[in-house]
Structure 1
């Protein structure tokens, strides 16, 4: 349910293009259309920005200010979260000493990036398909999410951060100037020490879709709702897919946090799944003493919809992926 929203439309005059020496004197108009909304039971503010871009060789970013200086940033990457040093002094050293590839704090991200202080209060910015962010350090630390990055060639010579050498191929890439109308989606979420922001990021990028299904049995009464798989111990259920051999389903679980998980339970519906085995990414059976199961079998056929199967995991390391085959 929508609680509130506002619409912002504005334009700004910017240099038409940029070369290795300076921005052009000719100015063109860059148009923005921004919709901001807040929904009930959602811990973040949605933003949808539409840009009519007619400018070349430039980058458009949206900045979020923490309000204080911090030394690190963090972001969702492959298989978990990474904390990175901002290292602004290294940029100055690399430019001064004319490194072949100067350092500057531009990083990759998947679902989110963010800033937080020593008390773990801060924010994350969720995104849908925006892979780059940058850190600015002035009086305060700012997170800059790249909305558009527009270039006309694969590489060039004499660039500021790669002086005296060609950066990649010199082939022209006119389509990479990204002229036209683009719509970008992202969201701002305040966080504190106990915030479940990783789960919220997963739901934001990959929302759960509901579908009606046939009854499992015509014997007795089924409950009003039926859960197949659940976990509430910090594990992220990353994937559920048919196995390559067609003999079950592969469930991939992930510890996305920066700390190990000592104990975790995965609850499954024992009418649907009767056995479990640990597999590798090639879906080959492996032995893993950290994974045990109980109450998965249902020999007497009673309580068909009962949510009672338990898979127990111990000592799941940070950013670790465990694959299970359910049959």
Structure 2
């Protein structure tokens, strides 16, 4: 039986089966917002939207999760939350087989297929597929950093950067490795670590096909092919292919020695030199000769010693 829709919109000729639906619809044309909040004077086109808004003032949360008792002020928020318990993903992508728990997430995902980028930066016209990405990008123009660390007042343009930073204060390491007992402060660091167990090396050099487990290591390696040295010393203009090499080099100019021995207060310009020095105090000798089991504090000492057994003479001059 066909549903009758006797109520006609005079603006667009859309029809409705219920008069109240027509009235609400007409307000999308007229802009009328007859329902006013008694707390803040905001106006709304529907009474139900006003009721939901009022809860932001009263703190009322009448919708409760049956799984974990978490309360919500809006029923739709409860429905989305329940899917985190049930695993329900009722919104399938028409382009691939992926499914999603929220319609808005599906809409964003579909843009990876269509290439649509509806959000444009007002400063440089760069387009984005997600509004949040556009908002974050705009801060590169404005310099805005709205997220403040409660421990040291350092500011960040992205909330996720603040969350990662806070862990440097709290020591929180919420990402555990499933292969060993190590924990990590960032998910990306965990992913990289897992490759030490799996042996996966997904980043290949475009020049020689050498594989790497980390993208940054592959980028640094590529500079051995290109000769690129993008890091320049401000004191002597010497160039380096790796930023850490530049940092160590600058200390030869500044005299900075930021690594202090906890046993004798000696300071060092490099962490690796400090580690070697500490073995003088601890007596640790981690490098063992494979021929006679003699132990050494430094790897170079072990390599020099091994030549006694092999007879190797790497520094030989031939006189004509």
TM-score (norm 2): 0.21
The structure richer in helix per residue is 2
Larger relative contact order (CA 8 Å, sep ≥ 6): 1
Rg larger in structure? 2
The two structures have a TM-score, normalised by structure 1, of: 0.21
